[in-house]
Amino acid sequence: MIHWHPLRRVAAVSSGALSVGAIALTALSPGCTYDPVPQATIDRLPEEEGEPSASHRPGEPCVACHSAYEGADPPLAIGGTVYTIDANGNLAGAPGVLVLVSDAEGDSRKACTNDSGNFFVEREKWPDPFFPLQVQAGSRTMQSIVGRDGSCASCHTLPNELSLDPVTGAGRSSAGVVLVDLADLGQCQGGS
């Protein structure tokens, strides 16, 4: 049974005075875990729509929150969203796509995308993947390796103001969303 928790954000710091105070508190409080790098990623995320679930927040960097830092349950080793182009030429989540992730020591895990195109590998099922990783989604093999980030969406971003390809989101610093062919859909069942 998986329990999904909403985001538990630590207090955002907006003023210089508060920043100084936060730094001081961080130094003095061993239990405080404020880290500006993951926190900046988390703070950029849009508000939750509906209830958290395995299908929530498609296209967002899963491991930013499902991590030891943010503490969303379950902790994930790998997580992402797979898309296809629908009949209207729009992005649509791709369900039933088999995703194979292999690490540098030859270990691997399989996952299956759910109704929103999300897939994930829980941390408890892969506590320490040895980076770099190689990924195959359906019949598509990733051109590059994954250096160290378990969130596919950190690099495979949804279309935004920086995108050069408005459909896939590809740009100077994004490979665009993970796209598969329609024939890749429905090849597995049951979500991750």
Partner 1 sequence: MRSRVRVTLGGGIAALAAIGTLLGTSLSACSGEEYLGRQDILCPDADLFKELVSPYMERRCATLDCHGAQARPLRLYTRFGQRHPAESNISGGNPTTEIELEANYAAVCGLEPEKMAEALSDLGQSAEELLLVSKPRDIVAHKGGAVILEGDSADLCIIAWIRQDPREEIERHCIPALEKVQ
Under rule CB under 8 A, residue 189 binds partner 1 = no
From the list 91, 101, 110, 59, the residue with the least C-alpha distance to 180 is 91
> Which CB sits closer to partner 1, 117 or 150?
150
Under rule CB under 8 A, residue 171 binds partner 1 = yes
Under rule CB under 8 A, residue 144 binds partner 1 = yes
Binding mask 81-120 for partner 1 (x = CB under 8 A): ----------------------------------------
Q: Which stretch binds partner 1 (CB under 8 A): 14-22, 51-59, 107-115, 162-170?
A: 162-170
Under rule CB under 8 A, residue 126 binds partner 1 = no
CA distance 97 to 186: 6
Choosing from 164, 181, 182, 183, the residue that interacts with partner 1 (CB under 8 A) is: 164
Burial of 22 from C-beta contacts in 10 A (0-12 / 13-18 / 19+): middle
Contact 184, 94 (CB under 8 A): yes
Q: Which residues bind partner 1 (CB under 8 A)?
A: 131-132, 143-149, 154-155, 164-165, 170-176
